[in-house]
Structure formats: structure tokens, C-alpha cells
Structure 1
Amino acid sequence: MTSKCCLLLVVMATVAGSVLGTAEVMSHVTAHFGKALDECRDESGLSPEILEEFQHFWREDFEVVHRELGCAIICMSNKFSLLQEDSRMHHVNMHDYVKSFPNGHVLSEKLVSLIHNCEKQYDSLTDDCDRVVKVAACFKVDAKKEGIAPEVAMIEAVMEKY
């Protein structure tokens, strides 16, 4: 009975560490990706209010609904070559981007898979900005369900590195 209990604790600790590890990696990805927001503000037509809100993307009360956010995400993604010409995710470049962060390999497959699944749901939308904002909203929900979404405090803690 004790050995089963110990084994269960080891498994639970491993799973908890894995989830925390992916959320930590996601905080690095988010902080680095967010640095391109200022460069894309004018190009995407973000109002100061939406710009301020966007910096809190992972907060529960932030709704990912504004078309301008989709335009900003496209601009930001293009700064890191994360999209193809049709404004859909470039899988190889996204894997490489995520893997470039400390322990990025633990998140890369999951992140690309979640984004890809969201892209499939909205593939029929022809307006790139509308489609991308819906994909981002879908990704946020799915990332939270999967336990890989970072806490706002995590992102703030790594912001100074980028």
C-alpha cells in the first residue's frame, strides 16, 4: 500500500511539474512575442484602450474579440516569421520559435497542435484579421483547458529578459 502511495505521489509531482514547466515556457513566449506589439500598434489600428487591454491577454476578464487584435497578431507574428503568406501558422518556424526559449521543447508540440486545431475551426473565414482573432480566442481557451496558459505574474516576472 505504501509503495502504491509513493508511486502515485511521484506521478502526480511529475505531471504537476510538467504543467508548471509548460506554463513557464508560455510566459517566456508571451513576453517575447509581446515586445513586437509597440511596433505593430499603428500598422494594425489598435486604439490605446485595446492596446492596454491586449497586454493582459491571459487574464480571465480579457476578451479576444476585436478585429484589430487579429491584425496586430498578424503583424507581430510576421516580425518572427511565424506565419505563411496566407496568414496561417508556419509550423516549422513556430516549433523553432518556441524551442528557442528555455525548456521550449516541452511546449512546442502542444502549442502548435492547439493553434492548428483552432485554425481548422475558422479556416473558412476569408478576412485574415477576423480569422486570426478568432483563432487567438480559441487558443486562449484551449491553452487554459490544457493547463499551459501562464499566470500574469509569470509573464511580468520574465518581461525584463526581453
Structure 2
Amino acid sequence: MSSAERTRVSTTAVSVVAACLLTLLVPGLRATVDVMKDVTLGFGEALQHCREESQLTEEKMEEFFHFWREDFRFDARELGCAIKCMSHHYNLLTDSHRMHHENTHEFVKSFPNGEVLAAEMVSIIHGCEQQHHSEPDHCWRILRVAECFKVTCLRRSLAPTMELLMAEFIMEAEGS
């Protein structure tokens, strides 16, 4: 086999391996985004329940639906209070208002294919809590943790797109 033939075979082999890896990785990536979408929608079901307790205005409630947008602002304490309430609703916080690791892991696993993301989500949230542990106000701390969580998920390509969430909202509305 000539040098040119070996180069072509080697290049072809690399291309085949790369294509196989992409085939394996992209569906996995898509699966985690789908799980994050399901977790987001499932967690969001508690928002209406928490509206009064967290003193959310109708306008702030609508803002909440844009959580995954890059320009979403984490500047309203009542959003942190709403997230705290929603987390309590699903028993995801300890008495000290910190993430309950086991319950959060199980909550994420309760969604279809949730096991592919449960440990990573718990790890991300825990890391974010460590960064903001000194904030004495629970609502502000939880809001900072949520912001850190979002930024980390966006960086890791785990966040669902607004288009994906909107499509799901529409499908749910049509099914009602």
C-alpha cells in the first residue's frame, strides 16, 4: 500500500470514528436537553401554587416562563422566594433551605430518562450552593443559586431552548 493510499485509509478511518462518536454524542445531548425540558415544565407546575406566597405579580409570573433565555434577569427577590416555595412544594429543600440531595436526585429521576441527568443536576446545584452559601437571605441565596445553575447549564448545553419549551406549552394547551 502506498503512502497516499495509507493516508486516504487513515483519513477515512478518522472520519468514520468521528461520525460514530457524533452519532453517539448528539442523541445523548438531545436526551439531556429533553430531560431538562421535562424537569423545567414539571417543576414549573408548582408556580401557580406559589404565586401568592412569594408575592409574584402577574408580570413576574410571565417573566418566569423565560427563565432559560440568556437575557433573563435575576434581580427580583420574589423570584427567589417563588423558587424556594416551588422547591418546598416538591420537598427538594432541607429545613435549612439547602438542596435535599436525595430528594432532588429522585425528583429528576422521576421524569422519562431522568437518570441521565439526575446526578449532574444535583452536582451543579450543590456547586452553586457552595458559591452562595454565605447569603443570609434565603430568597436572595436561592435566586443566586438558580442564576448559577442556569449559566452552568447553558455553558454545558443542557438548557432547553425557548422554542422547545414553547412547542411543549402549545402541545399541552392543545391536549387540554
Normalised by the length of structure 2, the TM-score is 0.87
Aligned to 1:35: 45
Superposition pairs of residues 48-67 of structure 1, within 5 angstroms: 48-67=58-77
- Residue 130 of structure 1: which of 113, 125, 140 is its match? 140
* CA distance in 2 between partners of 1:40 and 1:25 (Å): 23
Is the 8 Å Cα contact of residues 65 and 137 (structure 1) preserved in structure 2? no
3-state DSSP of counterpart to 1:101:
coil
Deviation of the 1:110 alpha carbon = 1.1
- Residue 155 of structure 1: which of 165, 168, 171 is its match? 165
Deviation of the 1:62 alpha carbon = 1.2
* CA distance in 2 between partners of 1:81 and 1:61 (Å): 29
3-state DSSP of counterpart to 2:80:
helix
Normalised by the length of structure 1, the TM-score is 0.95
Aligned to 1:103: 113
- Residue 30 of structure 2: which of 20, 35, 58 is its match? 20
CA RMSD for the aligned pairs? Answer: 1.5
Is the 8 Å Cα contact of residues 81 and 93 (structure 1) preserved in structure 2? yes
* 1:52 partner letter: E
* Higher relative contact order structure (alpha carbons within 8 Å, sequence separation ≥ 6): 1
Aligned to 2:102: 92
**Matched pairs, number:** 162
* 2:124 partner letter: L
* 1:41 partner letter: R
Aligned to 2:128: 118
In structure 1, list runs of 5 or more residues that go unmatched: none
